[in-house]
Structure formats: C-alpha cells, structure tokens
Amino acid sequence: MNGFGFQKNCRFERDGMAYLVMRINPDKSIVAERISDGQVSCWASDELLKAFTEGTLTFLDPVSNGESGSHYQRPITDLNDDIRSELERRIAYVSAVREVAPSVHTLGTFTPIVNAVAQRIGDPRPPSFTTLYKWVSKVTLYGEFRALIPRYDRRGPRHSRQDPRIIELFEESVQSAFSQSPQATIGKVIDKVRTLVTQENALRPESCRYKIPSQATCYRMFALLDQYEQTVLREGKRIAMRKFKLAGAGAVSTRILERVEIDHTPLDLFLIDEETSLPLGRPTLTIVLDHNSRMPLGYHLGFNAPSTAAVLAALRHAILPKEKHKSTIGLEIHGDWPCYGIPESIVVDNGLEFHGKALEQVAFNLGIQIQFCPKKEPQFKGVVERYLKTINYSFVHMLPGTSYAKYYQRGDYDPQEHAVLTLREFRELFEKWIIDVYAKTIHRSLNTTPLEKWNSSAKSYTPRLPRSLGQLTAEMAMPCKRRLRHDGIMLLGLHYSHDDLAPILRRFGPGVPVTVTYDPNDLGTIRVFDPDSNEKSYFAYAKNFEYANGLTLDQHRLIRRELIRQGLSVNDSIALSLIKQEIRDKVQELSLSKKHSKRRYAARLRGAQKEATANKVSRPRHHKNSRQTVNISHFLGKPLSGQQERSPLPTFKMRKPRIV
C-alpha cells in the first residue's frame, strides 16, 4: 500500500532537518532522533500531523542518510506500451504475493503463487524466485508500486566511450570551423578533427595512437552538444540568449496611463494613390499603446520613415480625446474610443527619433518619464510588439493588397495588382477595426476586453489633460538655438522678423542667442523666447510669408535643393513661384512613375501639402511697437492625425491602375 506513517524507523524531514523515529509511546507521542547530530526530541502526534498539513513536514524514503530513491518520477502516462505492459505484469505477481503470503517469502510459498498468476495472465516466462523477491522487497522498501517500473533508460555506461583527448580535439575543431564561418558544415568539422588527430598521433608512440573518429562518430558527438551551444556557433551568443531565455512575468502596471509603449512598423499592405490609382507602397504605422488595458491610445499613419514628427503626432493623437467623424466610404463606427490623457511614462526603443530634444522637451513639459529599452532587447516593450503583430495578422492580412509577412507566402498572389485601398480609406477601416473589433474582443492576458479594462480602471483614475490645446501644440514644437541680428532670425534658410523683437535687439545687441521653436508642418511662424524672461515669448513671421505660410519642412528642403541647384535665392518671389510650379509638376511626374520609391515620395509630399493647405492661416496684424505674450494656438492648432476633412471618394470597389 502506498504512503507513509509514523512508525519505528520511519524517516521524516521537518524545517530542513532529517529525523529517525525511534519509538512510539503509549500516549501516541513520537520520539525521534535528529540524524545530523543524534539529538533526541519528543513531539505529540497531533503536532506532527499539523506540521504535515501545513507543508513543513515531509516523509523521506527509508534509505541511508535520508537520500531519495532512484525509482521513476515522471507521470506514468509518459510510459510507452511495452513498459506499461511489463509494469502490469510485475504488479500482478507482487500483488498476489502480498495478498497470499505477505510475511513468508520462501521458495515454497512463491512457487504456487507464481504458477497461478502465470496461468491466469498467460505469461510464458514467469519470473524466478530471486527476481520476484527483489520486486517484493522494492515495493516494501518504497511503499509504492512505482518502484516496479522498468528502468531501461539506465542501461549502458553513463559516460562517453570516446577518449577524453578525442573529445577535446573535436570541440577544438568545432570552435575553429564555426569561428571561420557561421555556416560551416559538419564536413568541415570532420576534416579539421581528422587533421588534429593525425597531428596528435605523430607525436605519440605507435602503440598509443588514437583511432581517427569516423563520420558517424563525429555526427553523434555533434548531436550531443546542447541546442544552445549549437545556436551560439551558428548565430552568435546574443541571438542564442534571446532564443533560449525564459520569459519572466514582465512589466506590471496597476492602472491606465501608468505605462505606455510606442513603436513603429511598416504595414504588410500596399495602398494606392487617390488620383492615379497606382500602388504607392507600404505605409508606416506609429502606435501608442496602454500597457494596463492593451487599448491603443493614438496612432500616426503615413509614408514617411519613422521620425520624431511621427512620434509627436501619434502622442498628440493619444493625449487628446477622440471624436467620431463622418465616413466617406459609408462605414459606420458603432462604438466609442474613450482613450485619452497624458501618460505617466512612455517606453521606447533606441531609435534616433526617440533621442531628439523635441521629445525630451515634450516629456518634460507634460511630466512624462521616458524609459529606453536595453539595446537589442525588444521584449522589454513586448506588449506593443505583440500588438503590432496582431494588427498585421488579424486585420491587415485580410485586406486586398496585403503583402503578407513573408514574401514566399504570396505564391502567385500579386499585392500590387490587388491593391484598391487609399490611405484615407484604410485609415477609416483601421479605426473601425480598433473600436468595434479589437476593443471588444476578449484578451487572453486580461480575461476581459481591452475596452472593459480601460473603463473599469478609468473609474478610479481620471486621465490628465494639458491646460489647453494651444499649450499642447506649443509644447510639441521643435526647439533650436539661433541668433537675433539686424535682419532678424535665420532658420532653415528663411528670415523671420517682427517689431516685438526690437527691444531684445536693443537690450542685448546684435547676435544675441535666443531659443526658437517651430512647427515642421508650418514654417510661416516661429516662437521666440525672451532671453531675459522665463515667461515672455513672441512670434516672428517669415519675411516671405506668402511662401512659408503652411509650408512643410519636407517641401521647403526640396525647394531649397532645387534653388541651390539653379543658383537662385529663397527671397526671389518670382523664382519661388516658378520652383513651386516645378515641384507640383515633379510630384505629378513622380506619382505616375513605375518605381515605388518615387510614387511613395510623391505621396509623402502631396499628403503633407494637403494637410498644410488645410492648416493655412493669415498673418495676424499687430501694432508697430506692441510687446505682448501671444497665444500660439491660433496658428499651430493642427487637426488630429487621421481626422482631417475627408473629400468624397469613389465607391469602395476593385480598381485597375490607370497608366497615363
């Protein structure tokens, strides 16, 4: 019968100390000797039973020094059919002996029992007296039938039969072959080990020379290497550590907006141009995700590479409340997107776009802590990494024009021929999927939906907002240092000036350094901070305001390159008009190009131009000698990313590219 009990010679462990039961007193108290030093203790049986219930007392197998037995410990469901059949055979004989003759173990008592059991189970080769005696003794010693499980896995030597010197030479050959090339084969290793063994034998007497290992022997020795060691040889230690590292519990957040993760990804989808219907390429998505609720707070979508401007646009979208907009493709969004607020900390990787002064300034002004992931450890922000995979696999791969995650998954499917979605249409579909599908789907890590998790946490924690929209847009401007001279401030090749800057020039003289902030989506106006005050700031406007108003940084750089190439000046209004027209013609030409890179670049310029045109403002009038602190929301206020006014689009259907 399996189990243990408090009886003489029983061994148990309590509080890390092993004891041997010496006797049981008539009052049921137990006298035990501590095995380590022979100290004798006496406990009431109820006290020991309570300790067993609490888990502080454990029975030990009755072997010397309290060492555990070597019988099979794995679940018996892991046994194969042959071993299970042999176990049932042994149990049949041992059970019969313990039932008929539990205390008399002699040849005379065993023989009739063995014959009867062999005839009943149809065993052609019944065990001998010695074998059956060992089986019965094992069950009596360990107190369970598990001791009868055959240990065929323990047959054979426990060490390699190869000479230790041969093993050393083989390991040296492996290191040498894979240090020369990570794609080395076992054949290269075999050649090297044979060379090393031959060199070793040349220094030894003929009677003591080693046998050169065969090809099969080398393959067996290489197979004995750990998978970790093989991966280190083939792919390097860093990748091996990542593959074989056990994932821990990860970061823990107790409320919404406590930890927010930001990352980029190119979507596995080709989009088309609204005007030409030609494929533009794959857009880049910047996502801001709340760690606690797994709800996306905001995003930015465009054809630009990951940049600080994209991060700030996504962060701005995340902070501000979301409003429903009328769909241009007849797509109705039923749910709400209640996520908004200033995060307490943002977790980002070590991309250059996250190390700029602009993001650092925004974080400081809004009270956000920036946490950078360790280098080459994306699992540090694994929540947003996994969410980006969910977007591609659960949503993007179901749309026409998807490129899939791996190119070989496409087969004969051509994503460019099937691309029918524009950037505006995809943005509406994406928000529909976030609000009505993902937010209302049970998340396996949360055991609830992300929307319910957000709403439940929002009941006890109120999200923070900036003082005003103007403050937010002002704090997200790009900072830089410039000098104020008689002709104003030179920034990005443009001259800025205003009468409000005259007192600064008179007080500090020409060349005084000042702090300037500008919006990369509108170069018409900049903000200049008074060097003698921490509260005052003034606006300066481009001298060529008609050119710079609503002009984006990308457009301005393109125009400057063209002007420099032609040897013209930015202040020449006629030249600027001609260059602007050339740029528009160039964008149209790029839109019809057969190269994705050119069409993508045209889409980037056209998209920025449309946004800048929608944000264009007229230059405000000021008195000549006015000096005042101006609210900058009247010219820096931008619509939320993905929420501009949407012009009517054709019906959502398959469209063929139109070649002009």
CATH number of the structural domain spanning residue 323? 3.30.420.10
DSSP sequence for 394-426? HTGGGSTTB--SSGGG-TT--HHHH---BHHHH
Residues 293 and 369 in one domain: yes
Only one residue has tokens 């006290």, namely 47
Q: What is the mean pLDDT of residues 456-463?
A: 92
Q: What is the mean pLDDT of residues 414-420?
A: 75
DSSP 148: G
Pairing between β-strand 478-485 and β-strand 279-281 as defined by DSSP bridges = unpaired
Residue at 48 is within a domain:
yes
Query: Which pLDDT does position 598 carry in this prediction?
Result: 61
Using pLDDT thresholds of 50, 70 and 90, give the confidence band for residue 639.
very low
Whole-number Å distance between alpha carbons of 477 and 635: 12
Q: Give the chain's radius of gyration (CA, Å).
A: 39
Pairing between β-strand 512-519 and β-strand 522-529 as defined by DSSP bridges = antiparallel
Whole-number Å distance between alpha carbons of 426 and 328: 11
Residues 440 and 533 in one domain: no
Paired tokens of 285: 């998505």
Query: Which pLDDT does position 75 carry in this prediction?
Result: 84
Residue at 551 is within a domain:
yes
Q: Name the nearest CA neighbour of 294 among 462, 459, 449, 436.
A: 449
DSSP 147: G
Whole-number Å distance between alpha carbons of 288 and 430: 14
Q: Is 469 helix (H, G, I), strand (E, B) or coil?
A: helix
Judge whether residue 630 has pLDDT over 60: no
Using pLDDT thresholds of 50, 70 and 90, give the confidence band for residue 454.
very high
Q: Which residues pair with 527 in a beta bridge?
A: 517, 539
Q: For 76-122, where are the alpha helices, taking DSSP H only?
A: 81-100, 107-121
Judge whether residue 5 has pLDDT over 50: yes
Whole-number Å distance between alpha carbons of 104 and 109: 7
Q: What is the mean pLDDT of residues 195-224?
A: 91
Which one of 79-93, 137-151, 514-528, 561-575 scores highest in mean pLDDT? 79-93
Whole-number Å distance between alpha carbons of 578 and 343: 46
Within 13 A of 602's CA, how many CA atoms are on the CB side? 26
Whole-number Å distance between alpha carbons of 551 and 329: 30
Q: What is the mean pLDDT of residues 134-154?
A: 85
Residue at 652 is within a domain:
no
Rounding to the nearest 10 degrees, give the CA dihedral for residues 582, 583, 584, 587: 120
Judge whether residue 30 has pLDDT over 60: yes
Residues 408 and 430 in one domain: yes
Burial of 367 (0-12, 13-18, 19+ CB in 10 A): exposed
Give the model confidence (pLDDT) of 641-656 as tens digits: 333 333 333 333 334 3
Whole-number Å distance between alpha carbons of 133 and 131: 5
Mean pLDDT, all residues of the chain: 80
Judge whether residue 342 has pLDDT over 90: yes
Give the model confidence (pLDDT) of 243-258 as tens digits: 887 666 678 889 999 9
Judge whether residue 513 has pLDDT over 80: yes
- Least confident range of 203-217, 399-413, 504-518, 639-653: 639-653
Residues 145 and 170 in one domain: no
Tally of residues, the chain: 660
Chain mean position to CA 132 = 58
The tally of domains found in the chain comes to 5
Q: What is the mean pLDDT of residues 194-200?
A: 92
Q: For 352-468, where are the alpha helices, taking DSSP H only?
A: 357-366, 382-394, 415-418, 423-436, 450-458
Q: What is the mean pLDDT of residues 392-414?
A: 78
Judge whether residue 504 has pLDDT over 70: yes
Percentage of residues in the chain having pLDDT higher than 90: 30
Residues 415 and 324 in one domain: yes
Burial of 522 (0-12, 13-18, 19+ CB in 10 A): buried
- Bigger pLDDT: 568 vs 220: 220
Query: Which pLDDT does position 434 carry in this prediction?
Result: 93
Using pLDDT thresholds of 50, 70 and 90, give the confidence band for residue 603.
low
233 C-beta neighbours (distance < 10 Å), count: 20
Residues 628 and 591 in one domain: yes
Residue at 565 is within a domain:
yes
Whole-number Å distance between alpha carbons of 656 and 642: 26
Give the model confidence (pLDDT) of 55-96 as tens digits: 888 888 665 444 445 667 788 888 899 999 999 999 999 999
With residue 596 as reference, give the H or E element that holds it: helix 596-614
Rounding to the nearest 10 degrees, give the CA dihedral for residues 36, 41, 44, 50: -30
Whole-number Å distance between alpha carbons of 253 and 346: 12
Using pLDDT thresholds of 50, 70 and 90, give the confidence band for residue 411.
low
- Bigger pLDDT: 646 vs 375: 375
DSSP 124: S
Give the model confidence (pLDDT) of 349-361 as tens digits: 988 888 888 888 8
Whole-number Å distance between alpha carbons of 521 and 613: 10
- 634 and 620 in contact (C-beta within 8 Å)? yes
Residue at 285 is within a domain:
yes
Query: Which pLDDT does position 346 carry in this prediction?
Result: 94
Give the model confidence (pLDDT) of 90-129 as tens digits: 999 999 998 888 888 888 899 999 999 999 999 999 999 9
Burial of 9 (0-12, 13-18, 19+ CB in 10 A): exposed
Residues 119 and 146 in one domain: yes
Residue at 615 is within a domain:
yes
Query: Which pLDDT does position 564 carry in this prediction?
Result: 72
Domain boundary among 117, 134, 154: 154
Percentage of residues in the chain having pLDDT higher than 70: 80
Rounding to the nearest 10 degrees, give the CA dihedral for residues 379, 380, 384, 385: -20
B/e letters for 615-633, b = 16+ CB within 10 Å, e = fewer, are beeeeeebeeeeeeebebe
Using pLDDT thresholds of 50, 70 and 90, give the confidence band for residue 602.
low
Residues 84 and 57 in one domain: no
- Bigger pLDDT: 412 vs 445: 445
Phi and psi at 378, nearest 5°, equal -65, -15
Q: What is the mean pLDDT of residues 431-436?
A: 92
Count helices and strands in the chain by DSSP H and E runs = 22, 18
Q: Which residues pair with 480 in a beta bridge?
A: 516
- Least confident range of 220-229, 406-415, 544-553, 587-596: 587-596
Q: Name the nearest CA neighbour of 369 among 335, 330, 342, 402.
A: 342
Which one of 86-100, 155-169, 405-419, 574-588 scores highest in mean pLDDT? 86-100
Query: Which pLDDT does position 649 carry in this prediction?
Result: 32
- 346 and 260 in contact (C-beta within 8 Å)? yes
Residue at 660 is within a domain:
no
Residues 277 and 379 in one domain: yes
Residues 127 and 206 in one domain: no
Only one residue has tokens 């903000």, namely 527
Residue at 649 is within a domain:
no
Residues 619 and 508 in one domain: yes
Whole-number Å distance between alpha carbons of 312 and 657: 34
Whole-number Å distance between alpha carbons of 545 and 275: 30
Query: Which pLDDT does position 617 carry in this prediction?
Result: 43
- Full domain range(s) for residue 177: 164-244
Residues 346 and 422 in one domain: yes
Whole-number Å distance between alpha carbons of 615 and 636: 8
Of the chain, the end-to-end C-alpha distance in Å amounts to 89
Starting from the edge strand earliest in sequence, which strands make up the sheet with 284-290, in order?
A: 296-302, 284-290, 260-266, 345-348, 369-372
Only one residue has tokens 């820096």, namely 636
- Least confident range of 76-90, 366-380, 451-465, 633-647: 633-647
